Structure 1
Amino acid sequence: MSGMTTAAPFGPLGFQLVLLHRMADHQPGLVEDARIALGASPADMREANRRWQAMVRAPRGRGALARYRSVLGEPEQVVRRRIGDLECDALLWRLPLWPDLRFEVLATDGGQVWNEWLVRAPGAAGPELRTAEDLTPWSCTVDEVAEAFAPARPMEGSAPTRWGLGFTLPGGEKCVAEFTWGLLQRVMVGRPWAALG
């Protein structure tokens, strides 16, 4: 991939670099290993992010759902889902970097995207989460932590594409977990449930 140019098609490889670019704030070592595994240079990652941001911000750009389809192709699976009063489609794409996960986009019938993140692949076993030591970076998703340590409190993330969860460990210690694109990045044990920073 080295030497990614604006003339080259922007596809799944470039999109994975976009996800990594945001994760680098908290997990630079994991990101570097993943970038090397993809055969991409730091310049490739910056260029992929630049191109993605240009697509997102284009005044006459395609909608979010059409953008994902153009970059990732047809989804591996589309599942009809009901969340509260809302019925939507969950579109799932496979990304080579995370074979046990899928990139999920939740879209209304009108094509409006209201959530986009990594989730566990259907049928794939997730990790057993019982203690703070089990919560290692990139090991689990928002839903898995929320279920393992229910009731968890959703929190606003420190930047776009980030989410937070406040929860209590079995021993009574309060924790704040931060996720990027739905994947766990860090856990702060003993931190009050306040805004992430």
Structure 2
Amino acid sequence: MTGVAGGGFGPRDFQLVLLRRMADHQPGLVEDARTALGVSVSAMREVNRRWQARVRSPRAGDAVQRYHAVLGPPQTVLRRRIGDLECEALLWPLPLWPDLRFEVMCGPDGRVWNEWLVRAPGAPGPVLATAGDLRPWSATVDEVARAFAPVTMRDGGTPHRAHLEVTLPGGERRVAEFAWGLLQRVLTVDGEQVTDAS
């Protein structure tokens, strides 16, 4: 596999890019995943530097071309309707999260609308009924939004982050924070953390 040790940029490297964004919220889970991939901290930093250079390069092409170059052809291509628009969802497997897929959603003009982790087609999702069910890395944005509808989307503050304000069955309001579409932590509406990686 091309990637960290070689000159190419492959799926293992891309997983490290996702982990880098998640490290701000779940350093322990990220450390475990990085170790499982057999990559040092310095190598992870270097991969992230190379990814940022690739994204900013005028020769990089569009986002879809970039993902094809790094991840290969998508495992699944789905047509989805959003209102009156027909969209295309490209899905790639990533070994770190076997029940999830990296999804790139493209609009009718081919431009990328969204890039994040979603549940793999046919894979069972988590049962989400209480605050205790909202554990780090257990659920995707879509799953939390469905389980606690209606929800309010808040500004995530930085690219590839999302915040959902949810109301739990007892009436308590919480903010679920996501990186690349995967749940990282849950806060009170005032910003106090109420869950951790344990």
3-state SS of 1:90 partner: strand
3-state SS of 2:142 partner: helix
Partner residue, 1:63: 62
CA-atom RMSD in angstroms: 1.6
3-state SS of 1:110 partner: coil
Partner residue, 2:112: 113
CA–CA distance in structure 2, aligned partners of residues 183 and 36 of structure 1: 20
3-state SS of 1:150 partner: coil
* Counterpart contact for 2:91–2:103, Cα < 8 Å: yes
Q: Residue 167 of structure 1: CA displacement?
A: 1.0
* Counterpart contact for 1:174–1:192, Cα < 8 Å: no
Partner residue, 1:126: 125
Partner residue, 1:4: 4
The 5 A counterparts of 1:156-171 are 156-171=155-170
1:26-70 CA distance string (max 9 Å, x none):
000000000000111111111111111111111232100000000
3-state SS of 2:183 partner: strand
CA–CA distance in structure 1, aligned partners of residues 162 and 81 of structure 2: 21
The 5 A counterparts of 1:10-159 are 10-159=9-158
CA–CA distance in structure 1, aligned partners of residues 77 and 13 of structure 2: 23
1:54-111 CA distance string (max 9 Å, x none):
1111123210000000000000000011111221110000000000000000012432
Q: Residue 126 of structure 1: CA displacement?
A: 0.7
CA–CA distance in structure 2, aligned partners of residues 174 and 57 of structure 1: 38
Code of the residue aligned with 2:178 in structure 1: it is F
- With the length of structure 1 as denominator, give the TM-score of the two structures: 0.92
3-state SS of 1:87 partner: strand
Partner residue, 2:196: none
Code of the residue aligned with 2:144 in structure 1: it is V
Calculate percent identity across the aligned residue pairs.
Answer: 67
CA–CA distance in structure 2, aligned partners of residues 169 and 136 of structure 1: 14
Extract structure 1 runs of 4+ deviating beyond 4 A.
none
* Counterpart contact for 2:85–2:108, Cα < 8 Å: no
Change in CA separation of 1:173 and 1:155 when aligned onto 2, cut-off 3 Å = same
CA–CA distance in structure 1, aligned partners of residues 36 and 176 of structure 2: 27
CA–CA distance in structure 2, aligned partners of residues 109 and 117 of structure 1: 19
- Unpaired runs of 5+ residues, structure 1, are none
Code of the residue aligned with 1:51 in structure 2: it is R
- Unpaired runs of 5+ residues, structure 2, are 192-198
